[in-house]
Amino acid sequence: MNDAADSPDLLLRERMAAELPSKMLAHIDRVVSLADEFARMHGLDVARARLMAQGHDLVRAVKGKELLRRAEARGLAIDPVERDEPVILHGPIGALELAERFDVSDADVLFAIHWHTPGHPDYTLEAWAMFIADKVDPHKVERWPALAEVRDLASTSLEAAALRYLDLRLEEAIERRHSVHPMVTLTRNALLRRLGHLAP
Ligand SMILES: [Fe+2]
Ligand SMILES: [Fe+2]
C-alpha cells in the first residue's frame, strides 16, 4: 500500500462512507480537493488540511432537532442563535463524534471542525484552507456567485478570503434581518485587526 492509500483522510473517508448520504460525500470530496489545493498553494500542512476537510461535515445530514437533542444530552452550552438554527451545532457535535467514534485525536483538526461554520479568531492557516474550501465548493458558488470573489482572494491570502466571506454573510444577515452567531463577529474583528484594517 502506498502512502496516499493509507493517509488519515482516506481511512476516515472509508469509515464515514457507511453512514453519509452520497450527496454529502460528494460535497466532502470537493472540499478535500480544494483544501488540498489551497494548502499546497500556501505551503501549509496538506495532510492536516485534508483531514479537517474530510471530517468537517460528519453530522451535517443529521436533522436540527436531533443535533439539539445531542447537544443537550452532552450538556453543551448552547447559544440562543444555535437554538434558533440548530444546524450550526453540526460543527461542535461532529468534532466530538469524530474523537469518540472515529479515533480523530489531532486537537487542531477537531478545533477547526468544531468552528467551521463561523470560523474562529485562533484558526490556523490549515483551518482557513478547509474553511474557505467549504465555502467555495463550486456548487455553492453556482448558487451564490458572490462567493467567486472569496475563491479568487484565497490564492493571495486565506485570511483576506475569510474576511470577505464573513463580510458577505453579515451583509446578507442584515439584508434579511437574520441573527448572526457571536463567533462570526469575534472572528471578523480578529481578521480585521490582523489584516491591518483597524487603527491600533
Ligand atoms: Fe458544515
Ligand atoms: Fe461543508
pLDDT, tens digit (0-9, with 9 covering 90-100), for 64-106: 999 999 999 999 999 999 999 999 999 999 999 999 999 999 9
CATH number corresponding to 8-194: 1.10.3210.10
Three-state SS for 157? coil
Q: Cell 461532529: give the residue.
A: 94
**Average pLDDT over every residue of 149-153:** 98
Q: Spell out which residues have Cβ within 5 A of ligand 2, the ion.
A: 57, 134
DSSP state of 85: -
Output the pTM of the full model: 0.95
DSSP state of 117: T
CA of 20 to the centre of ligand 2 (A): 13
Q: How far apart are the first and last CA of the chain?
A: 53
CA of 28 to the centre of ligand 1 (A): 9
Domain residue ranges in the chain: 8-194
